[in-house]
Chain A
Amino acid sequence: MALLEIRNLNAGIAGKHILKGINLSINAGEVHAIMGPNGSGKSTLSQVLAGRKTFNVISGEVTYNGKNLLELEPEERAHEGIFLAFQYPVEIPGVNNTYFLKAAYNEIRKHRGEPELDAMDFLALVKEKMKLLHLEQDLLNRPLNEGFSGGEKKRNEIFQMAVLDPKLAILDETDSGLDIDALRDVADGVNKLRRPDNAALVITHYQRLLNYVVPDFVHVLLNGCIVKSGGKELALELEEKGYDWLACQPCL
C-alpha cells in the first residue's frame, strides 16, 4: 500500500476551483517532484495536504499511512509524520525558535508514546542538526523567522524538518531564493532523510535542485491537473521546453 494516495482530489478557495482531480500515489522510499508554472496549484496542494482549512476540499480522497488524511487536524497530521516546508514561512515575533521547536518535537513524541526530551538532550539533538544545515546559533535564539533573510527562513524550515524527522516531507519551493551553498545544504538535509520507510514530495521550479535530490518521479501540475508524469529526465525536458507544449493535455 502506498504511503500517500491521492484520488481525484478537487479543492479550492473562496469559490475558486484550483485543484481539479489530482491523482497521485507515493510509496515509502520514493522522492516525487512536482513542477509547474506559477498559479498552477502547487502550494494549494501542499497546504491541503498539511490541513489548511482555508482551502476547502470539494471532492476526492487522500489516504495516508492507511488513514483518511482529510479527517485529521493539522497537528494530528504532523504527529503522524507529515511535514510541510512552507514556500513562505511565517514570521512569528515573540516566539523563540528553539522553544517552539522543542514544543513541537515533544508533542510529536508524546503522540508516539515516547517520553519528552529534556532541555539538555534536546539541545544536543539541535546542535547535531544545526551542523548539518550550517545554521548560525544566533538564529536559534531569535524569534521564529522574524527578520530572517529569505535563505535563512528556508534553511530554518529544513532544520525543523531534520529535527522533527517526518515520514512524508513536502517541500514547497524550498530551493527558491537559495544561494548555491544553501541549496546544497538543503539537498543534503533532504537526502539524509531518505530512508526506505519515508518519502518526500518536492515542489520546485528548477531542475537544479533535482541534480542534488534525485527524484524517482516527476509530475507536471498545470492549471490544477497533473498533466504528465515521468522519471527524472522529464525535469530536463521541462527545463528545455517550458510548459507550453503540455498546455492542451487533459488531466491524467
Chain B
Amino acid sequence: MTTTTQQSKPAPADNAQAHLAAFDTFEKGGARRFPAWVNELRRAGISRFTALGFPTRRLEDWKYTNVAPISQLPFKPAVNPMPVALSAADLARFAFAGLDGSRLVFVNGHFVPGLSAISKLSVGVKLGSLAAAMSSDGDIVKQHLGRYASATDHAFRALNVAFFADGAFIYVPKGVVVEEPIHLLFVAVAGEDGTAAHPRNLIVAEAGSRLKVVESYVSVGSAAGFTNAVTEIAVGEGANVEHCKFQDESLGAFHVATIQSSLARNSRFTSHSISVGAQIARHDINAVMTGEGVECVLNGLYVASGSQLVDHHMVVDHAQPRCASHEFFHGILGGKSRGVFNGKIFVRPGAQQTDAKQTNRNLLLTDDATVDTKPQLEIFADDVKCMHGATVGRLDEDAIFYLRSRGIPHNAARRMLTQAFASNILARIGIEPVRKQLDEFLQSHLDAEIRAVEG
C-alpha cells in the first residue's frame, strides 16, 4: 500500500461567504417557485453548510482529498433554467445515446423535456423532473426527499440541499417491473469557471418492484464547472434495483456526488460506479440495511491519468441481521493521478450473520501514480463474516512477456491486461447494453491511457 503524506497547509480562504450571498439571492428570487417545505429544507441546508464550511484535510473523511480547488472557485450556482443551446444530435456522442428505454436529459441540473424521451411506462410508474414532482406528487416526494442522504456532517450534501433546483424523480409502485433501463443524462455546460449544478435525484422502488437506472454525467466545454449531485434511492421490501453511474465529465470539471440507498427487508441493490472524468471526482456511496435479508453489491471502476484525483468513500451500514454486502472496486491509475478508496463497514449491535466482503485492487500504470486505500470495519456483533483486502500493483511482467512471445506487441499486451482488469468489474453489470457500451468505451479510453504512458 502506498501512502502519501503531505504537509497540511493552512486552510485557504474559501468563498463560503459568496455561497451565502448566492443563497440569499436565490431565496429571494428563483427559490420562490418551490413549495415552502422545500425551501425550509434549503434554509437548514445552507445553515448546515455555513456551520461546517468546506471540508479540510484535517477531517478523516477528507484526509487525501483537498477540495481547495473547489472552494476557491467562483460560485455560480445554476439555480434557474437557462435556454439550452444543445440539440439531440449534440448528445449522440455521449455514452448510452442508443439505449432503448426512457431517457431524461438534464442540463446543469435542469430537466430539458425537449431532449428527453419517455417511453411507455407501466401503470403507476412516475418518471420525470423532481421539480415538477414536488407539486404533482408532493406527498411522495415529501415522504422521501432528504430522508436518506444526511446533510448533517457533509458540507457538499448540505450545499446540494440549499441549491438543488431539479433532478430526476422515479417512482415504481408495488410489484411493478420496469424492464428497460431508465437513463438519466446530466450534461454540464460550464460557460465559465464555477458554474455549479446541484442535481438532486429521488428514486423510490416500492415493495417487490424491479428497476434499472443508468445515471451518466458528461460535460460540454472544458471550463472548470462544478457538479454536486445527490441521489437518494429507497428500495422497498423484496424490491430489486440495479443502478449504474458513469462519470465522464471534462478534465477541467469538479464532480462531487453522493448515492445514498436505503434497503428494506429482502431487497437487492446493485450499484456500479464507473468514474473516468473530472479533475477531482469524489463519490460517496452509502447503503443502509433497514431490514433483514438484504443483498447489497457495490461495484466500482475508476480510471485516472494526468493530475486527476478520484476518491470513493463507501459506508455500508449493516443495521439489521442476515444481510450480505459485497464491494468490488478496481482502480487504474496513470500519470501523476491519485486514487482514494475508503470503505467503511458498520455491523451494528444485533446484526448477526452479517456477511460483508470488500475488495479494492489497484493497478498503477506509472511510478508517479499513487493510491490510498483503507478498509474500516466497525463490528459490534459477534456472529459475522467480514472480509476485506486491498492490493496495489503493476501489470504482471510475466503475463506481458507471455503475450508478446505470441506476437502481440508490447502496448497491445499492456492494453489487453489492463482491459482485463477493468472487465472484471464491468462484467458484473447486469444491464447488457450498458455493459457492452462501457466495455467499448473503456477499450479506447485505456488505449489512449496506455499510449500516454509509453510516451
Interface residues as binary, B134-163 with A (CB distance below 8 Å gives 1, 0 otherwise): 000000000000000000000000000000
Chain A residues closer than 8 Å to B397, beta-carbon distance: 54
List A residues 39-93 near B (Cβ within 8 Å): 50-52, 54, 73-75, 77-79, 83-84, 86, 89-90, 92-93
Interface residues as binary, B277-298 with A (CB distance below 8 Å gives 1, 0 otherwise): 0000000000000000000000
Knowing A51-B404, A84-B405, A100-B416, say if A90 contacts B398 (CB, 8 Å): yes
A100 contacts B403, C-beta separation under 8 Å: yes
B408 within 8 Å of A by Cβ? yes
Interface locus among A104-112, A118-126, A176-184, A222-230: A104-112
A107 contacts B420, C-beta separation under 8 Å: no
Q: How far is the CA of A93 from the CA of B363 in the complex (A)?
A: 14
Chain B: which residue is nearest A91 at the CB level? B399
B406 within 8 Å of A by Cβ? yes
B396 within 8 Å of A by Cβ? yes
A103 contacts B405, C-beta separation under 8 Å: no
B421 within 8 Å of A by Cβ? yes
B424 within 8 Å of A by Cβ? yes
**How large, as a class, is the contact surface on chain A?**
20 to 34
A92 contacts B417, C-beta separation under 8 Å: yes
**How large, as a class, is the contact surface on chain B?**
20 to 34
Knowing A103-B412, A103-B416, say if A78 contacts B402 (CB, 8 Å): no
B408 contacts A75, C-beta separation under 8 Å: yes
Knowing A94-B421, A104-B407, A107-B407, say if A74 contacts B401 (CB, 8 Å): yes
Q: How far is the CA of A89 from the CA of B399 in the complex (A)?
A: 9
B405 contacts A50, C-beta separation under 8 Å: yes
B409 within 8 Å of A by Cβ? yes
Knowing A78-B405, A84-B405, A111-B407, say if A90 contacts B412 (CB, 8 Å): no
B423 within 8 Å of A by Cβ? yes
Q: How far is the CA of A86 from the CA of B396 in the complex (A)?
A: 16
Chain B residues closer than 8 Å to A54, beta-carbon distance: 397
B420 contacts A104, C-beta separation under 8 Å: no
B402 contacts A104, C-beta separation under 8 Å: no
Q: How far is the CA of A245 from the CA of B355 in the complex (A)?
A: 62
Chain A residues closer than 8 Å to B409, beta-carbon distance: 75, 107
B410 within 8 Å of A by Cβ? yes
A92 contacts B405, C-beta separation under 8 Å: no
Chain A residues closer than 8 Å to B408, beta-carbon distance: 75, 100, 103-104, 107
Chain A residues closer than 8 Å to B406, beta-carbon distance: 75, 78, 83, 100-101, 104, 160, 164
Q: How far is the CA of A73 from the CA of B423 in the complex (A)?
A: 28
Chain A residues closer than 8 Å to B403, beta-carbon distance: 92, 95, 100, 104
B407 contacts A95, C-beta separation under 8 Å: no
- Smallest CB–CB gap between A112 and chain B, Å? 11
Chain B residues closer than 8 Å to A89, beta-carbon distance: 402
**Candidate in A54, A90, A164 with the most chain B CB atoms within 10 angstroms:** A90
A93 contacts B420, C-beta separation under 8 Å: yes
B407 contacts A51, C-beta separation under 8 Å: no
B407 contacts A52, C-beta separation under 8 Å: no
Chain B: which residue is nearest A77 at the CB level? B405
Chain B residues closer than 8 Å to A101, beta-carbon distance: 406
Chain A residues closer than 8 Å to B412, beta-carbon distance: 103, 107
Q: How far is the CA of A51 from the CA of B420 in the complex (A)?
A: 24
A90 contacts B396, C-beta separation under 8 Å: yes
Chain B: which residue is nearest A163 at the CB level? B406
- Smallest CB–CB gap between A211 and chain B, Å? 28
Q: How far is the CA of A47 from the CA of B223 in the complex (A)?
A: 51
Chain A residues closer than 8 Å to B399, beta-carbon distance: 90, 92
Chain A: which residue is nearest B412 at the CB level? A103
A94 contacts B424, C-beta separation under 8 Å: yes
Q: How far is the CA of A73 from the CA of B420 in the complex (A)?
A: 23
- Smallest CB–CB gap between A200 and chain B, Å? 16
Chain A: which residue is nearest B402 at the CB level? A90
Chain B residues closer than 8 Å to A160, beta-carbon distance: 406
- Smallest CB–CB gap between B411 and chain A, Å? 10
List A residues 95-143 near B (Cβ within 8 Å): 95, 100-101, 103-105, 107-108, 111, 143
- Smallest CB–CB gap between A125 and chain B, Å? 15
- Smallest CB–CB gap between A7 and chain B, Å? 23
Q: How far is the CA of A85 from the CA of B448 in the complex (A)?
A: 32
A74 contacts B420, C-beta separation under 8 Å: no
A73 contacts B424, C-beta separation under 8 Å: no
Chain B residues closer than 8 Å to A103, beta-carbon distance: 408, 412, 416
List B residues 366-385 near A (Cβ within 8 Å): none
Q: How far is the CA of A239 from the CA of B397 in the complex (A)?
A: 36
- Smallest CB–CB gap between A46 and chain B, Å? 10
> CB < 8 Å: which of B402, B407, B417 contacts A86?
B402
Q: How far is the CA of A160 from the CA of B397 in the complex (A)?
A: 20
Q: How far is the CA of A229 from the CA of B420 in the complex (A)?
A: 45
Knowing A73-B410, A92-B399, A107-B409, say if A78 contacts B424 (CB, 8 Å): no
B420 contacts A78, C-beta separation under 8 Å: no
Chain A residues closer than 8 Å to B413, beta-carbon distance: 75
- Smallest CB–CB gap between A18 and chain B, Å? 17
Chain A residues closer than 8 Å to B404, beta-carbon distance: 51, 73-75, 78
- Smallest CB–CB gap between B229 and chain A, Å? 31
- Smallest CB–CB gap between B330 and chain A, Å? 10
Knowing A73-B410, A104-B406, A107-B407, say if A95 contacts B417 (CB, 8 Å): yes
- Smallest CB–CB gap between B260 and chain A, Å? 31
Chain B: which residue is nearest A88 at the CB level? B398
Between A and B, 16 residue pairs with Cβ closer than 8 Å are: A51-B405, A73-B410, A77-B405, A86-B405, A90-B398, A90-B399, A92-B396, A92-B402, A92-B417, A94-B419, A94-B423, A100-B416, A101-B406, A103-B416, A107-B408, A160-B406
Task: List 12 additional contacts besides A90-B396, A107-B412; criterion CB under 8 Å.
Answer: A51-B405, A73-B404, A75-B413, A83-B406, A90-B402, A92-B396, A94-B421, A94-B423, A94-B424, A100-B408, A104-B406, A143-B420
